[in-house]
Amino acid sequence: MLLRMGRRLGITLFSIAAVIVITFALTRLLPGDTAAYFAGPAATEQAIQEVREKLGLDRPKYEQFVRYVQDLSRGDFGQSLTTGQPVIKDIAARLPASAELTFAGLIVSILIAIPLGVLAAVKEGSAVDHFSRVIATAGVSLPVFFTGLLLAYFFYFILGWAPSPIGRLDIIYSAPPHVTGFYLIDSLIARDLEVFWAALKQLILPAATLAIFSLAPITRMTRASMLAVLSSDFVRTARASGLSTRKVILTYAFRNALLPVITTLGMVFSFLLGANVLVEKVFAWPGIGSYAVEALIASDFAPVQGFVLVMAVMYVLLNLMIDLLYGVIDPRVRMAA
């Protein structure tokens, strides 16, 4: 097991190093001149050159890369030219907003998709099975930004049930004291139920948008995995032994069907991190996705590089956690390792 984890850690470090190289190269290939953008439209060529020298953009690319890696080794992600703040500080301030939205969407999706997939497999060919296929097809077909706009239009503009999509809290409320950065948790810690309900109302529509987007793959994988397990010999043996249907499904079939579902959850989580960028723009959510888009428009390299690096680290750590969960769920994985 330790040898397997060592190999995984080595692959993780290599992946992060590759992301650093590729991100640096791609940001330098982006159209636009950072120095010209921040010097202003009326700036002379000399003024633009002075800004370029100040930012170190006049140096050879390899020197810029070496300096970038040296800064990263000290935990310095650079400074954002658009906000004037260190990138690591901006990301730390905005990451909890993105994380709260992503986890809320994923939790809602799991609570609906997994039971729906299990029921669809147990009652194959029934109305529940057909309904799960419709949900899966709709989730795949609808672009996430269109779903968000549709929900906001229907529930806010037409029905007036949802608050205005202007971020994490309405302007009449103040953010709870910072503990975790998650407004729902921090408001409960502060025992401020008014802010809790206000933050929850703001979270419902964007979280529902992400949940609809992720329902399809989780439902389909749960159904397919359960169908494969339910037709196996050990399940037929368990039923022939007189065990109740509930025990056979939950204790024997569902646990053995979990491995591919967990793999799918890992992939879905990475997809949600990407979908966050669009959802945050639709609902004016102050997360790192909108932060990266604003920096990209301004040709501000440091925030874009910091965003991609943070996403890459989160993704590889998630994969590492999934590998550990494999061993917890299926003892055969531990024995094989």
In a domain, 306, yes or no: yes
Q: What pTM value is reported for the model?
A: 0.80
Number of domains into which the chain is organized: 1
In a domain, 291, yes or no: yes
Write down the pLDDT at residue 197.
92
In a domain, 138, yes or no: yes
| Three-class DSSP labels, the chain | CHHHHHHHHHHHHHHHHHHHHHHHHHHHHCCCCHHHHHHCCCCCHHHHHHHHHHHCCCCCHHHHHHHHHHHHHCCCCCECCCCCCEHHHHHHHHHHHHHHHHHHHHHHHHHHHHHHHHHHHHCCCCHHHHHHHHHHHHHHHCCHHHHHHHHHHHHHHHCCCCCCCCCCCCCCCCCCCCCCCCHHHHHHHCCCHHHHHHHHHHHHHHHHHHHHHHHHHHHHHHHHHHHHHHCCHHHHHHHHCCCCHHHHHHHHHHHHCHHHHHHHHHHHHHHHHHHHHHHHHHCCCCCHHHHHHHHHHCCCHHHHHHHHHHHHHHHHHHHHHHHHHHHHHCHHHHHHC
pLDDT in tens, 213-263: 888 888 888 888 888 888 888 778 878 877 777 888 877 788 778 878 887
pLDDT in tens, 44-100: 777 777 777 776 777 777 778 888 888 788 877 878 877 878 888 888 888 899 889
pLDDT in tens, 137-166: 777 777 888 888 888 888 988 888 888 888
In a domain, 73, yes or no: no
In a domain, 129, yes or no: yes
In a domain, 179, yes or no: yes
Give the domain range for residue 165: 87-336
pLDDT in tens, 29-41: 766 666 666 666 6
pLDDT for residue 336 is more than 60: no
In a domain, 330, yes or no: yes
Write down the pLDDT at residue 330.
60
Res. 24 pLDDT band, cuts 50 70 90 = confident
Q: What is the mean pLDDT of residues 175-183?
A: 89
In a domain, 266, yes or no: yes
pLDDT in tens, 310-335: 888 887 777 777 777 766 666 555 55
Write down the pLDDT at residue 206.
92
Q: What is the mean pLDDT of residues 114-126?
A: 85
Residue 255: give its domain's CATH number.
1.10.3720.10
